[in-house]
Amino acid sequence: MKHTDSISSIQVAGIIASTIIGVPLMVLPRFIVAEVGEAAILASVVGLILSSISLIAITELGKKYKEYTIIGCNRLLLGKYIGNLLNVLIIVSMMIVMGLEVRQFAEVLASGLLPNTPIEFSIIIMIFLCTLAGFRNVSTFAYIHFFYLPFLLIPMVFLLFSIKDLETYHLLPVFGHELSLFQFMKGAFLMMAAITNYFVVAMLIPYIKDHENCVKNGIWGLFLGGLAILFCIVMTLGVFGVQELELLYWPVLSLSRIIQIPGEVLSRIDAIILITWIFAVFTTLFSHYFVAVRGTAEIFRTDKFNLISTIMVPFIYVIALIPDNIYEIYDYGINTAFFVLIIYIALPIGLLIIGRIRKRVRVQ
């Protein structure tokens, strides 16, 4: 497939940041705090640093194989059969993650903004919105992310008004209470699993104009998105504390409901944050769909992106409706996230190692 359009490494950074800031923004603080307590901040930082290793591996892979996406790299370095097997796993995992995340989106929307709207309606509208955005031009994909990125940072501004309610003792001790290394790393892995959607960059490799700056700008994008999530963890933990935070389904939404703007200029901060969060959910799901659609098209060597995206709609819709309640959504989500984490981190690192071994063998 010929690559006719291109994007800059700065656009790649914007794509990574806007993809990371999405569904996890509302729910992640609760999960990490439930695992590691007050050590949630430190565990999140460790998870962010470890995630950067995978991103560096992806971008380094792009510098070595500039004409190939991750789909092409798998076939090139692992062979047709093993490569395509991993390609199918990537696409299926993306569809599963998208289905579970769009269901979480619908549940949050029903609890905060549209209580009388059936969740099935919210699910199908968001999936169709991603479908209609188009997948033919990568440059258009980048422009959409760049356009929405400023809106995604609006909730951070409003959350700053809750600083007066923050209690520093809720954040201490930073290492938690008698945590084992396994417990601490489980919290770090939750952070890593929540931001693995930066994997979308692996489908953008052939379109990047300046690969030399891609590693640096990619890291900037990762840390911008990661810091937004880290900020939400700090604010929710600092205001609610560990015990209360574990009882909240949507900590950031709960926090937005107690925010008071001086002069009472705005009375429904939670509605504003939910509306801007919808943009964040869209960009995240759009990236998942982009990988699934473009990856499928590359496997079958076709450019019928609209047809593929339309065929995927009922599958993602069914996946979204599989969980019976919010508890099952979390169970499915956590189990899937850890499986996806193994693929998205181990795969690019493994491909880099295999590429170097093959190069040495040829040289000898």
The enclosing domain of 316 has a CATH number of 1.20.1740.10
Domain tally, the chain = 1
pLDDT score recorded for residue 211: 85
Residue 361, in any domain of the structure? no
Cβ atoms 17, 308 nearer than 8 A = no
Q: What's the pLDDT score for residue 2?
A: 43
324-333 long-range contacts, CB within 8 A, separation 24+: 326/107, 326/249, 329/100, 329/103, 329/104, 329/107, 330/27, 330/31, 332/100, 333/100, 333/101, 333/104
Residue 7's SS3 state is strand
Contact of 217 with 33, CB cutoff 8 Å: no
Q: What is the pLDDT of residue 184?
A: 95
Separation in Å, CA 218 to CA 17, 221, 315, 317: 9, 5, 31, 32
- Is residue 113 a part of any domain in this protein? yes
Amino acid at the residue 325: N
CB neighbours of residue 363 within 10 Å: 6
CA distance 323 to 221: 32
Which residues are within 8 A (CB) of 326 and not within 5 positions of it... i.e. 6 or more apart?
107, 249
> What per-residue confidence (pLDDT) applies to 340?
83
Question: With the CA atoms of 63, 66, 70 and 76 taken in that order, what torsion angle do they form, in degrees rounded to the nearest 10?
Answer: -110
Q: Which residues pair with 7 in a beta bridge?
A: 208
Examine residue 158 and state whether it is found in any structural domain, yes or no: yes
Residue 357 lies in a domain: no
Cα 226 from chain centroid (whole Å): 10
The answer to whether 279 touches 71, Cβ cutoff 8 Å, is no
What is the structure's pLDDT at 210? 87
Residue 360 resides in a domain? no
Two structure tokens written together for 192: 């890593």
Per the omega criterion (within 30 degrees of 0), is the bond before 173 cis?
yes
Burial class (CB in 10 A: 0-12, 13-18, 19+), 262: exposed
pLDDT value of position 263: 66
Note the pLDDT of residue 4: 58
* Cβ(214)–Cβ(16) below 8 Å: no
Angle between helix 326-363 and 181-194 (nearest 10): 90
* Distances 65 to 74, 85, 356 between C-alpha atoms, Å: 11, 20, 12
| pTM value surpassing 0.75 | yes
Strands (E), 66-139: none
Note the pLDDT of residue 361: 45
Q: What pLDDT shows up at residue 363?
A: 36
Whether 98 and 199 have beta carbons less than 8 Å apart is answered as: no
Tens-digit pLDDT profile for the chain (364 aa)? 445 578 999 999 999 999 999 887 888 999 999 999 999 999 999 999 999 999 999 999 988 999 999 999 999 999 999 999 999 999 999 999 999 999 999 998 888 778 888 999 999 999 999 998 878 889 999 999 999 999 998 888 889 988 989 999 999 999 998 899 999 999 999 999 888 889 999 999 999 988 888 889 999 999 999 999 999 999 999 999 999 998 888 899 899 888 888 766 667 788 888 888 999 999 999 999 999 999 999 999 998 999 999 999 999 999 999 999 888 988 888 888 878 888 888 899 999 999 888 765 453 3
> 208 in helix, strand or coil?
strand
What are the b/e assignments for 213-250, b being 16+ CB within 10 Å? Answer: bbbebbbbbbbbbbbbbbbbbbbbbbbbbbeebeebeb
Instruction: Find the domain containing 327 and state its range.
Output: 9-352
Is 243 a domain residue?
yes
Ramachandran category for residue 68: left, alpha or beta (phi over 0 → left; psi -120 to 50 → alpha): beta
Assigned domain for 364 exists: no
Q: Which two tokens mark 105?
A: 């989106």
**Residues 6+ positions from 204 with CB-CB distance below 8 Å:** 7, 12, 15, 69, 138
Residue 333 within any structural domain of the chain: yes
